[in-house]
A and B are shown apart, each in its own frame.
Chain A
Amino acid sequence: QKEVEQNSGPLSVPEGAIASLNCTYSDRGSQSFFWYRQYSGKSPELIMSIYSNGDKEDGRFTAQLNKASQYVSLLIRDSQPSDSATYLCAVNDGGSQGNLIFGKGTKLSVKP
């Protein structure tokens, strides 16, 4: 059973701090990694994708990938109350064309 594991949280950080969200995955054949943000009652929206080891930055967001450790993370700098949401990690299924495996999500709360 291929799995994506995330700490369910809630993760609480003060406004302006760095929020660090972590994800591990079991499928060594995975090549594509995604972070989605989901506000309560809404659908997920893609905020970051990463395909190579290392860091990828986009504005206040940085995704980090370490394939050897099967670990992907998302850093949110200068956290804002509007960042309060559930963050879903998704990893492609290396053995099934096009399938994504989703983690259960980490709930982030940014306190003013």
Chain B
Amino acid sequence: EIVLTQSPGTLSLSPGERATLSCRASQSVSSNYLAWYQQKPGQAPRLLIYAASSRATGTPDRFSGSGSGTDFTFTISRLEPEDFAVYYCQQYGNSLWTFGQGTKVEIK
């Protein structure tokens, strides 16, 4: 099983600032099959990024993903008030899909 470790656990930022989240895998993620999700309180998660860097339909372009192998990064270029939420990475490179533990982006 591939273990995904997200850092930091919590990110305290102000609207308009840049957010950079990390997701590190315990072994290489096949074909960069890594996705990012956003979850707001009381809501289901929402897919934002797949294949490490491809935006899902409807994802604003202030959200971006990058990386390969074992190190992946998710960036929000300028935080909007609605972006404060928990973000999860997920790998689907093998048939035992796993999630990271999440990074909470909170208002400073």
| A and B: bona fide binding partners | no
